[in-house]
């Protein structure tokens, strides 16, 4: 009997000690440390530090993430939900569908800025190649040159041109595409952008860019991610395009407006009166036309169409405007068709 009583006392004493140690451990801030490397936690321990909770999958305390965010084991932080319709705002992450453009993992804010900048890269590439190969509006291989250069540039951005239509050549202002399939919120942004473009003048350039930046923010907050990217990169193209043409239009004019004669003597004439609003407007309408046409096909078709149609629209427009004051140039140029690819 004495031995049994002793055994019971030992068990009771041991239990008290274990319980006491466990409570001490739980009340110790170090025990709720979210860093696995510094402290291993018992899966049954639910007490984590303020702003953290126990995750039974990773078996550690992880941060409490806000709505539309998730804990990322790689970054060790809360990240915006990705994928179409995942989360709201400019910090949404581009999913795997954007991988071919090198945009996977970027925020949609950074993605639309990249696409807008690519427009300028394309125009720089076209003019540089024209100058390098001495191509002008009388070069019989001009159409093939533009086709080859466009395809080569598109390839550097992961774009497959066979899925993208190049618009018909048009000297006049092209029409704004139908936006009936966009949400009411997206339609308002596009209508505001249309008004800004149609009323653009070089004297109100700073105000134009400022208002476009506001529209860009509105676009990135659209709830539908495809719409946010499509409308967002259209506004981004507007910002980049009008900045580019304001700085570089004279360089294009000076290069394009000369007439080579049969003796290969170049006769330069006064630059044509190329309308900056028409050129920039062609870019913006092209971006929206291409993006809207491809939006149902997902990011791959939407981005590819938006970029290619926007870049070629302004190229055709400026070449066409330049050709109007060069006798003989417009005849062959205006007969081009859109079936390049």
Average pLDDT, stretch 246-260? 83
Instruction: Give the pLDDT of residue 31.
Output: 41
Residue 108, CA distances (Å) to 167, 201, 228, 301 in order: 27, 30, 8, 16
pLDDT per residue as tens digits for the range 140-150: 788 788 888 88
Average pLDDT, stretch 163-172? 47
**DSSP 8-state secondary structure symbol assigned to residue 326:** S
Share of the chain above pLDDT 70, in %: 69
Q: Which residues pair with 61 in a beta bridge?
A: 54
Q: Are 270 and 287 in contact (CB under 8 A)?
A: no
Q: Under the phi-then-psi rule, with left for phi > 0, alpha for psi from -120 to 50, and beta for the rest, what region is 257? A: beta
Q: In whole angstroms, give the CA distance from residue 341 to residue 338.
A: 8
DSSP element (H, E) containing 153: helix 142-156
Locate the domains of the chain by residue range: 2-64, 96-333
N-to-C CA span, the chain:
98
Q: Which residue has the tokens 């036309």?
A: 289
φ, ψ dihedrals at 69, nearest 5°:
-125, 160
DSSP element (H, E) containing 259: strand 258-260
φ, ψ dihedrals at 55, nearest 5°:
-110, 120
Cβ count within 10 A of residue 197: 22
Instruction: Give the pLDDT of residue 324.
Output: 75
Alpha helices in the chain, H assignment, sequence order: 2-27, 108-132, 142-156, 184-198, 205-220, 225-256, 276-294, 299-323, 329-333
Confidence of residue 73 (pLDDT cuts 50, 70, 90): low
Assign 52 to helix, strand or coil.
strand
């Amino acid at each position: 009997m004495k031995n049994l009583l002793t055994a019971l006392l030992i068990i009771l004493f041991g239990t008290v000690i274990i319980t006491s140690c466990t409570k001490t451990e739980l009340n110790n801030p170090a025990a709720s440390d979210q860093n696995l490397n510094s402290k291993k936690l018992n899966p049954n321990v639910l007490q984590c530090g303020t702003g953290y909770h126990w995750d039974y999958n990773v078996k550690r305390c992880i941060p409490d993430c806000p709505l539309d965010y998730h804990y990322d084991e790689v970054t060790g932080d809360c990240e915006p939900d990705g994928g179409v319709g995942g989360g709201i705002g400019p910090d949404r992450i581009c999913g795997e569908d954007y991988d071919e453009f090198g945009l996977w993992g970027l925020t949609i804010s950074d993605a639309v800025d990249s696409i807008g900048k690519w427009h300028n890269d394309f125009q720089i590439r076209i003019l540089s190649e024209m100058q390098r190969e001495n191509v002008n509006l009388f070069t019989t291989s001009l159409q093939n040159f533009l086709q080859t250069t466009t395809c080569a540039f598109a390839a550097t951005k992961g774009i497959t041109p066979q899925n993208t239509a190049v618009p018909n050549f048009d000297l006049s202002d092209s029409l704004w595409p139908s936006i009936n399939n966009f949400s009411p919120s997206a339609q308002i942004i596009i209508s505001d952008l249309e008004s800004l473009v149609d009323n653009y003048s070089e004297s109100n350039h700073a105000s134009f860019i400022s208002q476009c930046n506001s529209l860009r923010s509105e676009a990135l907050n659209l709830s539908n991610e495809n719409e946010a990217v499509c409308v967002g990169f259209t506004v981004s193209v507007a910002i980049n395009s009008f900045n580019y043409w304001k700085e570089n239009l004279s360089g294009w004019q000076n290069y394009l407006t000369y007439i080579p004669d049969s003796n290969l003597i170049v006769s330069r004439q006064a630059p044509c009166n190329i309308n900056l609003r028409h050129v920039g407007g062609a870019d913006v309408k092209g971006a929206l036309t291409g993006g809207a046409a491809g939006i149902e096909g997902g990011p791959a078709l939407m981005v590819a169409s938006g970029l290619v149609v926007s870049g070629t629209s302004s190229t055709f427009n400026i070449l066409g405007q330049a050709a109007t004051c060069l006798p003989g140039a417009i005849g062959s140029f205006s007969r081009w068709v859109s079936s390049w690819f």
